[in-house]
Amino acid sequence: MSNKLLLAASAVAILSASPAFAADDVNLQTLQAEIQEMRQAYESKIEQLEQKVETLSEQQNQTTKKMAATETAAGEALTPATSKRHIADNSFNPEIGVILQGKYQSFSANEGEFAGFAVGEEAERGQEGLGIDESELNFSGSVDNLFRGSTTIALHEHGGETEVEIEEAYVEAMALPYGLNAKAGRFFSELGYLNSHHSHADDFADRPLPNRAFLDSNYGDDGVQVSAVLPTDIYSEIGGGVFRGNDFPGGGADGNDIGSWTAYGRVGGDIGDNTSWRLGVSTLQVDGAERSANEDKVVFDGDSSLYIAGARLTHALGNDQELIFQGEYFHRDEDGTYDDNDAGTGAIAYDDNQSGWYAQGVYKFHPQWRVGTRYSQLHAGDVPAGLVGSALDDGGHDPWAASAMVDWSNSEFSRVRAQFNREELSDGNEDDQIVLQYIMSMGAHGAHPF
Amino acid sequence: MRYYIPFIAVLGLLCAAPSSAFAKVNVFACEPEWAALSKEIGGDLVKVYTATKAHQDVHHMRAKPSLLAAMRKADLVFCSGASLESGWLPILLQKAGGQNVQQNTVGWLMASDFVRKLEVMEHVDRSMGHIHPEGNPHVHLNPHNILDIADVLTERLFLIDQGNGPAYEANLSAFKSKWKTATATWESSSSNLKGSNVVVYHKSWAYLTDWLGMNIIASLEPKPGLPPTTAHLENLLQSLKGKKVKAILVAPFENEDAAEWLSERTNIPVLHLPYTTGGSDNANTLEDVFDETLSMLNKAAH
């Protein structure tokens, strides 16, 4: 689009066509002179404009300040001086967001072990009774014209102790050429749909079973991720990352090597004005993990490959009604040894596949009200003889969970939810769960999930 | 050495392709009004993508996949600003925006940065509802604002697509003379609207009423961004007794139930104004939007 390139291109065009015009030397010269003239005229104009843009943005700041000053002068009597602080998301301070969550949970069964799976602590159903759930503090902002930083610190209670966790702490290079985006630090990887989202943006009070069993609700590790939105008519994006390999399903990374890597691709688009869709595939490959699970009672040592395929469809019905459908399929291939200390199996060779899926629908039938339903299931695969009777033995049962929820949002910053779950994670162990929850967000305006 | 020749030729073609005279400037317009203005000034030289439709509430949009694809190709991002698009524009910019459309670049044009904003807040709190501390972002409903923004848009197009500068300037002056005449007509036809009262759904109409000297005396929303409640409407019904109100203004993306409810009990007519281009069957250009708005307001005033 640059003027010079254009000139060069026309010059090339003129030169290459020169035989036809050989006799018209005079014309060519006038043409060149004209181009020269035009170019000079443009360049001076462009310089002027560029200066104007610069001064404009300065003036703009000043006039807004002046206007604000005059306007408040009129309303001075009404507002006490102490309340006059200007709050905007993008002043010099980082944007600060606080998420407060609280829950009441009641379970009908005493325990919720996953038949055939050894899971991390975030996969468990949480504590019964009243309690504050995860509270999050988020700071984010532009570092300079190239980098943007964000950190999310989560506070939660586990076993009566308050835990402080750095959920995310990353920098992101913005505005790289060719639609590239690079992230470094600790962050929730792009894996399936839900993984990169924080739980407060979810449509249900808990994650579906495959996210809980395979990703311990969220895979967030230290590493680098590069992605590119491709210049296609429909949305398409590819990306991947390399990580330390310390977070579940990894573990015990000594940092000598890259512990895990991810790759993903997705496409999306619109059907008409009201429907949009998105399809994605992704993988998480962990090499040489030493993963402790089931409260350190089960140890997996080996390679773990997870593959996820998913789809999401949103459909707007009129001004303020909406339907959202979403589903994902998970497949995990593991090669290594499992050792269940509790069952005293010793390290037993394991080379098999597990899988899981969920499907959910959410219907927003009023600007403030939504209902949703979800089903999720896991399949553990065959168990080697040495692990019969251990946590890896599913006893011929596929864990399943069915959920129904209703939530109410007074504004887009507050939400109150009631959810009912029926889970049968191990054979005959039916668990009816009631979850009441609030999610409140203060401060910086976060992006709407998409 | 010869192997290089086709390689260089292909490379040359790749480099030249985007700068060829046929490449149009890709404008990513967040709202239909800015898409319409881009077409007025850019004509055939620009390719305009409109992120939202007249019947969609811009506040509550998501960063849909199709928007990411469009942002990826944008040479100019043209939106209302003042955090109207804060739920989705930042994430589009982060994920798919090029170097030339980032904030504070030539390709980043927020209309509300270039006009005098109404309702600029010094102290804000979310208990006041979904308000914009930077001021009311619905700036396009004052035709004088459109003129100022058209100037800035032309400058930006000039800087982005230097080769076609004169064409943009010619379009601008044609648009301006047309617009000034039209504005004079609208203003002379609307003198009897001055001082009249209206009820609105949301403060999307602040610039229109400010321009015409009308007063917004109540909103159907109890707080900006919160849907009408029965209690609030009952209160409104009481407080509007004995007051002269010309109309209840409703935009295409706003729920009409509350307006109809109030209208039935007060006999104040509900006006479904186009609000932006595409907001009614006839509102194809910005001029149509104002023509229709003024004629509907004038009709209600009689």
Residue closest to A372 by CA, chosen among A401, A403, A400: A403
Question: Does residue A110 sit in helix, strand or coil?
Answer: coil
Residue closest to A17 by CA, chosen among A3, A28, A33, A6: A28
Residue A266 has which token pair? 């997705």
- Position A86 scores a pLDDT of 45
User: For residue B147, is it within any domain?
Assistant: yes
Q: What phi, psi does A420 have (nearest 5°)?
A: -120, 130
Q: What phi, psi does A150 have (nearest 5°)?
A: -155, 140
- Inter-chain contact B55–A319, Cβ cutoff 8 Å? yes
Note down the domain range covering B80. 23-185
Chain A partners within 8 Å of B90 (Cβ): 447
Secondary element (H or E) of residue A359: strand A347-366
Per-residue burial over A123-146, b if 16 or more Cβ lie within 10 Å, else e, is: bbbbeeeeeebbbbbbbbbbeeee
CA distances from A54 to A61, A145, A439 (A): 11, 16, 43
CA dihedral B219, B222, B226, B231 (to 10 degrees): -120
- Inter-chain contact B65–A276, Cβ cutoff 8 Å? yes
Q: What is the CA radius of gyration of chain B?
A: 22
**What is the residue-averaged pLDDT of chain A?**
83
Q: Which of A50, A148, A413 sits opposite B126 (nearest CB)?
A: A413
More confidently predicted of B255 and A74: B255
B166 and B28 belong to one structural domain: yes
- Inter-chain contact B102–A267, Cβ cutoff 8 Å? no
Mean pLDDT of A257-269: 94
Question: Does residue B140 sit in helix, strand or coil?
Answer: helix
| CATH classification at residue B213 | 3.40.50.1980
List, for residues A362-417, the tens digit of each pLDDT value.
999 998 999 999 999 999 988 898 899 899 999 899 999 999 999 999 888 899 99
Instruction: Kindly give the interhelix angle for B286-301 and B32-42, rounded to the nearest 10 degrees.
Output: 130
d(CA B244, CA B264): 16
- Inter-chain contact B161–A1, Cβ cutoff 8 Å? yes
- The residue among A5, A6, A57, A409 with the most chain B CBs within 10 A of its CB, best to mutate, is A6
- The residue among A46, A190, A229, A279 with the most chain B CBs within 10 A of its CB, best to mutate, is A229
- Position A446 scores a pLDDT of 64
d(CA A243, CA B56): 41
d(CA A102, CA A414): 12
Residue A73 has which token pair? 């002068």
Residue B230 has which token pair? 């029965």
d(CA A203, CA A193): 12
d(CA A360, CA A374): 4
User: For residue B67, is it within any domain?
Assistant: yes
More confidently predicted of A360 and B58: A360
B252 and B276 belong to one structural domain: yes
Q: Could you tell me how far CA B53 lies from the centroid of its own chain?
A: 11
Contact criterion met (CB below 8 Å) for A420 and A404:
yes
d(CA B245, CA B236): 12
CA distances from B168 to A40, B140, B155 (A): 18, 21, 9
Q: A13: which residues sit within 8 A by CB, 6+ positions away?
A: none
B93 and B199 belong to one structural domain: no
Q: Count of domains in chain B?
A: 2
Q: Does A321 touch chain B (CB under 8 A)?
A: no
Name the minimum distance, in Å, from the CA of A185 to any CA of chain B: 17
- Inter-chain contact B122–A181, Cβ cutoff 8 Å? no
Q: Among B185, B213, B241, identify where a domain stops.
A: B185
Q: What is the CA radius of gyration of chain A?
A: 29
- Position A155 scores a pLDDT of 87
d(CA A176, CA A164): 34
B25-29 β-sheet, strand order: B46-50, B25-29, B76-79, B108-110
B136 and B86 belong to one structural domain: yes
B204 and B138 belong to one structural domain: no
Helix runs in A138-294, H state only: 209-215
Helix runs in B190-268, H state only: 206-212, 230-239, 257-266
Q: Which CATH architecture has domain A103-126+189-443?
A: Beta Barrel (2.40)
Show which of residues 358-417 on chain A sit within 8 Å of chain B, judged by CB atoms. Answer: 366-368, 410-413
* DSSP E strand boundaries for A84-177: 95-107, 129-132, 135-142, 147-158, 161-173
B171 and B270 belong to one structural domain: no
Name the minimum distance, in Å, from the CA of A372 to any CA of chain B: 19
- Position B1 scores a pLDDT of 43
- Inter-chain contact A268–B133, Cβ cutoff 8 Å? no
Q: Among B185, B206, B237, identify where a domain stops.
A: B185
d(CA B79, CA B48): 12
- Position A52 scores a pLDDT of 67
Q: Which of B91, B94, B162 sits opposite A2 (nearest CB)?
A: B162
Q: Among B127, B159, B185, identify where a domain stops.
A: B185
User: For residue B12, is it within any domain?
Assistant: no
CA distances from B272 to B187, B250, B253 (A): 21, 5, 10
Contact criterion met (CB below 8 Å) for B268 and B248:
yes
pTM: 0.80
User: Is pLDDT of A70 > 50?
Assistant: no
d(CA A394, CA A301): 20
Q: What residues pair up with B79 in beta bridges, in sequence order?
A: B110
Residue A237 has which token pair? 């994006």
Contact criterion met (CB below 8 Å) for B178 and B146:
no
B241 and B101 belong to one structural domain: no
d(CA A135, CA A154): 6
ipTM of this complex prediction, to 2 decimal places = 0.79
B89 and B169 belong to one structural domain: yes
User: Is pLDDT of A117 > 90?
Assistant: yes
User: For residue B2, is it within any domain?
Assistant: no
- Position A32 scores a pLDDT of 74
Mean pLDDT of A264-287: 94
User: For residue B1, is it within any domain?
Assistant: no
CA distances from A309 to A192, A199, A263, A355, B144 (A): 7, 20, 12, 12, 52
List per-block mean pLDDT (blocks of 10 residues) for chain B, which spans 302 residues: 48 43 86 97 95 90 91 95 90 87 91 91 68 84 96 95 93 96 94 92 92 94 87 92 91 90 93 95 95 93 72
List, for residues B52-65, the tens digit of each pLDDT value.
999 888 988 888 99
More confidently predicted of B203 and A80: B203
List, for residues A180-212, the tens digit of each pLDDT value.
889 999 999 999 999 999 888 899 999 999 999
The full set of domain ranges for chain A reads 3-69, 103-126+189-443
B196 and B283 belong to one structural domain: yes
Residue closest to B27 by CA, chosen among B87, B100, B82: B100
Chain A partners within 8 Å of B91 (Cβ): 447, 450
User: Is pLDDT of A46 > 90?
Assistant: no
d(CA A149, CA B94): 12
List, for residues A147-185, the tens digit of each pLDDT value.
889 999 998 877 778 889 899 999 998 778 888 889 999
Burial class (CB in 10 A: 0-12, 13-18, 19+), B52: buried
B83 and B139 belong to one structural domain: yes
User: For residue B160, is it within any domain?
Assistant: yes
